[in-house]
Structure 1
Amino acid sequence: MLDFMDYVLASFHTTSRWNVDNSYASLTTTATNLLDFNIPQGLRLHVSSLSAPTFATSYTLGNQGVVDGSLSFLYSSLALRVASRSSHVPLANLVRGYRHLQQLSAPTHSKASSATISPEHPERKDTLLYGRLYLPTSTLEALYLRRLSPTRLLRLSCVSDGTLPSGGTILALVQNDYGKYSTEYLYSTDSSLLGFRALYNFGYDPRYPLDQQHVSPRHPRHPWDHQNGRLSAGAEAYFSPINKSGGISTGLRFTTLPIHTGFPYTMTLTLNPLMGNLSSTYAVKAGPNLALCSRFDFNVYSYESDVSLGLELWRRSTTPEDVRWVKDMIRPGWELRPRDESVNGVLKAQVTDKAKVGLVWECRVKELLVSLGAGFDLKKRDRMLGRVGVEVGYSS
């Protein structure tokens, strides 16, 4: 489950109209959400507040080995008018699950600034500042986001820790989103790492009207054009001049769009030619309450392989309206209808061919958000139960 600060950060992207899915880094987001979810460890308590539309705070206390915790503060120049009380925040906005991608749109200003921009008033550049102090280690994290233009976002991530070389590290990332394609340039002070990522979407170009692209909604040029799904291809490359090392990877993704009349699904294929790693995933929203995912990893050099299976099951209250909703779920747009008011909880499960199992139950208990989880290793008969924990959150 997303913690409160990640929820506020996601609302900043939404309000500023930044498409986080149009990036090579998010190519396998759906499979990651369904297979690599976090399992709580120990007991952890989160108390958070959105005291003003531009300011949020969060406090965490845990007992992982020793008593630890953190203090977080967030400021946004863009007013974030979202539900903040834990009893009102939709669970669908907090649980990372199957990712429904929308039709591409041309980059634009934020919802707040688009109505005020004029020749007399220069373009508004929305900014977000975030800081988190970990105790008792005194490790400090910081994040700076700035919309330099409708198509460009600057992201600076910093960590200050005495155990790290030079006492800390800084990661600078410039993201460009043009709708049809996106690019990213990154630099890290850790080993002076330089990197580049790019993602290209085949078919429909949101920057131009359909009549200029000679594309008819009824007769698209390609099966992935503007109708049922979108095919995307991307790659990344990075190099460290200090370590004289680098790496590259490439990937493909096909996902259905809201107009698709059948079950939504997402397929990805990624390849790291230097390491010889090949990974393929398939995720499907098999119903309004059920999502399934599988992943197959293979190394062409060692011939080692891994298989993972994941499940996400939503529990909703049963009403006559829910019954009618299930009956017509194959109609276009069924998966996008909001039913958050009937959600009681969600179960996430994952199993691998190495006999490792992970379970997480996330729900709302009155005013509290609760996450229960456990990890099992079925091959260890003497110590089958591994990681186990409970997280409780309250926000106002």
Structure 2
Amino acid sequence: MLEFMDYVQHVFYNASNWNIDNSYSQLTATARAILDFETPRGLRFTASSLASPNFATSYNLGSVGLVDGSFSYLYSSRVLQTVSKSSQIDLHSVIRGYRQIKELRTPDKALEWEEWQVGKRTDCRDQLLYGRLYLPLSTLEALYLRRISPTQQLKLSAVSDGRMRNGGTILALHQYDVGKYSTESLYSTDGGLIGVRGLYNFGPDPRKQDPDLTRMEERFYGRFSAGAEMYYGALNKSGGVSFGGRFATLPAHKGIPLTATVTLNPLMGNISSTYAVKASKNLSLCSQLDFNVYSYESIIVLGCELWRMKAPKDKKWERSMEAKLAWKLDEVVEPTISVPREVAGVLKARIDQNWRIGLLWEGRVKDLMFTLGSSIDMKRKDQPFRALGMELQYSS
């Protein structure tokens, strides 16, 4: 489950019309959401608040060994109109599940971002500031995010920790996204790392597509995407490269939604393939196969997620007293408009070829959102439960 500050950052992305899924780093986001979930350890509680439409705070307290915690603050120049109460937040917004990619949208024009008053330009670019201090280790995290233009974004993240080399590290990331393709350039002070990655989407270009063009009913609603990344560390004189491809159905697809990916790291000899399918409205299945051509080692992981929905509040399941006395059932009246069903929670499970099992239950009880999970190693007969924990979140 996303922490409150991560949830607010996603709200900022949506408010500023930035598509975080159109990136090479998000190529396997669907498989990671179903298979690579983190199991909580110990007990952890987080209290957060969106004090104003531009300012948010969060306090975290945990008990893993020694008592630890953190407090964080976030400022956004753009007004964030969103639900902040934990009792009202849509769980689909904070629980990472099957990721359905969306239709590519046409980027805003630069002229649409300009504001003029008395012959002077008064518009300013959206920006976000975030800081978090961990205690008792006094580790500091910082983030600066700025929208440069409708197609560009700058992201600076830093970590200050005396245990790290040079006392910390800074990562600079420049993102460029026009819908049809996207590129990212990055530099990290840790090892002098320089990298670039990109993603290309096959099919129509949203910048040239005719909005009045009617679509055929039998059109194939899917998208092929391919990308690559290259990076080089100036200090340790080492580099890397990877390639990847993805096919995913679009929301307009009338069949079963599915996502398939293949990634290749030629230097390390790793080949990874994933296949995820939304078998029903509330059930998603996913499999992953990793193979190394040098060592011939392979890893197989299977996982699923099952969403539990609440019954509609306006539906009556019990008979009235008058009907009970008459020994008959109430007349069933079908509603003319379907009532949306609220999410009650989701159960996630995964297992690999070594019989290591991960279980996770996420949901909401009254005003608290919770995450309960456990890691089980079936080959360890003496101590199969490797981890067990719970996280509680409250926000206002």
The offset of 1:320, in angstroms, is 10
Deviation per residue, 1:264-310 (Å, 9 max, x gap): 10000000000000000000111111111000000000000000011
- The answer (yes or no) to whether the contact 1:210–1:216 under 8 Å persists in 2 is no
Contact 1:41 1:390 in 2 (8 A): yes
Q: Partners of 1:230 and 1:19 in 2: how far apart?
A: 16
Shift in Å, 1:354: 1.1
Sort the Cα spacing of 1:380 and 1:187 in 2 relative to 1 into closer, same or farther, 3 A.
Answer: same
What amino acid maps onto 1:238 in structure 2? Y
Structure 1 or 2, whichever has the larger Rg, is 2
Change in Cα spacing, 1:105 to 1:122, as seen in structure 2 (3 Å) is farther
Counterpart for residue 295 of structure 1: 288
* Secondary structure of 2:215's aligned partner: coil
**Residue in 2 aligned with 1:127?**
127
Q: Paired residue for 1:231?
A: 224
Q: Is the 8 A contact 2:377 2:385 kept in 1?
A: yes
Q: Do the aligned partners of residues 219 and 360 (structure 1) sit closer, same or farther apart at CA in structure 2, a change above 3 Å counting?
A: closer
Distance in 1 between the 2:176 and 2:313 partners?
Answer: 46
- The answer to whether structure 1 residue 306 and structure 2 residue 275 are counterparts is no
The match for 1:315 among 308, 317, 342 is 308
Sequence identity (%): 55
What are the within-5 Å matches in structure 2 for residues 30-69 of structure 1? 30-69=30-69
Contact 2:175–2:184 (Cα < 8 Å) also in 1: yes
* Corresponding residue number in structure 1 for 2:382: 382
How far apart are the structure 2 equivalents of 1:120 and 1:87?
45
Alpha-carbon separation, structure 2, partners of 1:262 and 1:153: 35
1:200 corresponds in structure 2 to 200
Aligned counterparts of 1:321 and 1:287: Cα–Cα separation in 2: 24
- For 2:327, the equivalent position in structure 1 comes to none
Contact 1:256-1:265 within 8 A present in 2 as well: yes
Q: CA deviation at 1:107?
A: 1.8
CA distance 1:305–1:48, change in 2 (3 Å): same
Whether the aligned pair in 1 keeps the contact of 2:312 and 2:339 (CA below 8 Å) is: no
Q: 1:321 to 1:117 in 2, by over 3 A?
A: farther
Which ranges of structure 2 fall in alignment gaps of 5 or more residues?
316-337
Cα RMSD over matched residues? 2.2
Please report how far the alpha carbon of residue 116 of structure 1 lies from its aligned counterpart in structure 2 after TM superposition: 7.2
Q: Look up the equivalent residue of 2:89 and give its one-letter code.
A: V
Tell me the distance in 2 between the aligned counterparts of 1:216 and 1:55. Answer: 43
CA–CA distance in structure 2, aligned partners of residues 383 and 361 of structure 1: 22
* CA shift for structure 1 position 38: 1.1
Alpha-carbon offset, residue 210 of structure 1: 3.3
Counterpart contact for 2:113–2:123, Cα < 8 Å: no
CA distance in structure 1 between the aligned counterparts of 2:390 and 2:211, rounded to whole angstroms: 55
Q: CA deviation at 1:353?
A: 0.7
Q: Decide whether the 8 Å contact of 1:360 with 1:373 is kept in 2.
A: yes
Displacement of 1:344 in angstroms is 1.1
Written as runs of structure 1 = structure 2, the 5 A alignment for 1:177-188 is 177-188=177-188
Tell me, what secondary structure is at the counterpart of 1:287? coil
- Separation (CA, whole Å) in 2 of partners of 1:116 and 1:152: 15
Give the Cα–Cα distance (whole angstroms) in 1 for the partners of residues 40 and 55 of structure 2: 27
Aligned position for 1:345: 345
- Which stretches in structure 1 are left out of the alignment for 5+ residues? 323-336
- Distance (whole Å) between structure 1 residues aligned to residue 221 and residue 65 of structure 2: 50
Equivalent residues in 2 for 1:1-396 (5 A)? Answer: 1-108=1-108, 117=115, 120-121=120-121, 123-210=123-210, 217-218=215-216, 227-319=220-312, 339=340, 341-396=341-396
Q: What displacement does 1:121 show?
A: 3.6
Distance 2:150 2:299 in 1: 41
What is the count of residue pairs matched by the alignment?
372
Within 1, Cα distance between the matches of 2:243 and 2:166?
32
User: Is the Cα–Cα contact under 8 Å of residues 270 and 292 in structure 2 kept in the other structure?
Assistant: yes
